[in-house]
Amino acid sequence: MKRFQQFLVLSIVTMSVLTIAIPTLAASGNDQPRARSYGPDYFYGEAYGYAFEWSQEVWRIVQSDLERRVDIDKSHRFTQAVLRQQYGTPDAQAIPMENAVAAAIHAIAAEGLITKAVLEADYTVNALYLIGTSQPKWKISFTKMFQGEEYAFDLFHAEVNAYTGEVRNIGRFEPGENYYEPYVLYEVLVLVDKEMPEQPELPSNG
């Protein structure tokens, strides 16, 4: 529980501190094929680490960078989701981040997927204050990395109404899903999928 509380304090501090340089997609040499094979999220990951480590300030900087750059495929789902997501600052009506985290833990544990004790002891928490079409929400995620296995992790996430404390859209990351979805409001992802042009079907090998 002590480590859990320490990370909450660290999350608040890092919301206003960031000095890492943004990578460029205008690579050369052996990096060129990789620029065509991976989306922009890959390169931001190289600069900032795993998404569950990104503070809200990191997401804002990534969003600002995506807005100004011309060397990135703006039709990529990651790009569209980040560009459409609004990031806010808790006002006087908003419940504290710690309360939102506690509500998310209670709701996730109530689903029977994991116990409250394990979430608090073994998972790293990330909290973002996001603006939707109605009231703002805390987007809370809990992540556990598996030792010795890169990109192998378990992740739960939920959205907590910042004014009422109601918890909705509880989810658990599954292999094959987009890792950035736990850090964007569900309504934003629905809008992106609705407005994005349909991707052409790949030709079969048969």
- CB neighbours of residue 1 within 10 Å: 8
Residues 165 and 105 in one domain: yes
Query: Among 38, 65, 85, where does a domain finish?
Result: 85
Residues 46 and 115 in one domain: no
pLDDT at 205: 41
Query: Among 60, 85, 110, where does a domain finish?
Result: 85
pLDDT at 178: 72
Q: Tell whether 206 is covered by a domain.
A: no
Q: Tell whether 158 is covered by a domain.
A: yes
Q: Tell whether 77 is covered by a domain.
A: yes
Residues 122 and 81 in one domain: no
pLDDT at 17: 33
Q: Tell whether 12 is covered by a domain.
A: yes
Residues 191 and 126 in one domain: yes
pLDDT at 20: 33
d(CA 170, CA 108): 7
Domain hosting 32: range is: 2-85
Which H or E element spans position 35? helix 32-37
Query: Among 55, 85, 115, where does a domain finish?
Result: 85
Give every residue of the chain whose pLDDT is below 50, as ranges: 2-37, 200-206
Q: What is the pTM of this model?
A: 0.74
Buried b (16+ CB within 10 A) or exposed e, 139-168: bbbbbbbeeeeeeebebbbbbbbbeeeebe
Residues 139 and 169 in one domain: yes
Phi-psi region of 204 (alpha: psi -120 to 50; beta: other; left: phi over 0): beta
* SS3 category, 94: coil
The total number of structural domains in the chain stands at 2
Q: Tell whether 53 is covered by a domain.
A: yes
pLDDT at 149: 58
Q: Tell whether 200 is covered by a domain.
A: no
Residues 49 and 136 in one domain: no
54: tokens are: 């990104």
Helices 186-195, 77-84: crossing angle, 10 deg rounding: 130
Residues 158 and 80 in one domain: no
